[in-house]
Amino acid sequence: MKNWDQFLTPYKQAIEELKIKLKGMRGQFEQEHVHSPIEFVTGRVKPISSILEKAYIKKIPIENIASEIQDIAGLRMMCQFVDDIDTVVQMLRKRNDFQIVEERNYIFHRKPSGYRSYHVVIEYPVQTIHGEKKVLAEIQIRTLAMNFWATVEHSLNYKYQGQFPEEIQARLLGAAEAAFQLDEEMSQIREEIQEAQAYFSKSKKSDNKR
């Protein structure tokens, strides 16, 4: 029997610190009045029941949970455009406050479910009163359209436990394709959108000066 509180403490600390750091990246773009490739950032520690369920399904012994379940600490970085994902990944690769241990590109290789997202697994050093403790964390980088699809599919998955009725399955695949098309369309009119956003951000700044 694990002492879960003690086990999860460094993960909670990692999430709090990483949320501040990754949100800070967005803040810096805003300050410079240039398009931010990051729209918003979220983070969570996986609930104990989900950790145990994943360990059971993947036949992971309890003592290997920390090394084999990579998303106990999970962060999401949402982007407006597909190209922004690459910019964000490159920025993550340049950071020296964590080590990237694995990258999974489910945008280039969409999952059979229709899921698209870019996953970066990092090893993050948490400073504790007993010294440094390295924990794994998974950063999922995706567009708003990919996130919308994944969020809805995730809720349905919970309801149907992965056993979707045929009609729902077909609709989800159709919706994944529609999300893909939406991303394509937005990329096409990206410059127009960005000009409008830059105009809006500058006029907001001059309003604030008044």
Query: What does each C-alpha distance from 204 to 40, 180, 196 come to in angstroms?
Result: 19, 32, 12
- Tell whether residue 74 is a contact of ligand 0O2 (CB under 6 A): yes
- Reply yes or no on whether 17 is catalytic: no
Q: From CA 68, how far away is CA 108, in angstroms rounded?
A: 24
CB of 138 to ligand 0O2, least distance (A): 6
> Applying CB under 6 A, which of residues 111, 171, 202, 205 lies at the interface with ligand 0O2?
111
Q: Judged by CB, which is closer to ligand 0O2: 109, or 130?
A: 109
Burial 180-193 (b: 16+ CB within 10 A, else e): bebbeebbeebeee
* Total of residues contacting ligand 0O2 (CB under 6 A): 13
> Applying CB under 6 A, which of residues 26, 39, 86, 115 lies at the interface with ligand 0O2?
115
- Tell whether residue 142 is a contact of ligand 0O2 (CB under 6 A): no
- Tell whether residue 71 is a contact of ligand 0O2 (CB under 6 A): yes
Single out the catalytic residue among 32, 68, 138, 195: 138
- Tell whether residue 119 is a contact of ligand 0O2 (CB under 6 A): yes
Give, as ranges, the residues between 13 and 52 that touch ligand 0O2 (CB under 6 A). 46, 50
The token pair that represents 165 in the structure block: 């009725």
Burial 88-108 (b: 16+ CB within 10 A, else e): bbeebeeeeebeeeeebebbe
> SS3 for 41?
strand
- Tell whether residue 116 is a contact of ligand 0O2 (CB under 6 A): no
Catalytically active residues, by annotation: 138
Interacting residue ranges for ligand 0O2, rule: CB under 6 A: 46, 50, 54, 71, 74, 104, 111, 113, 115, 119, 150, 153-154
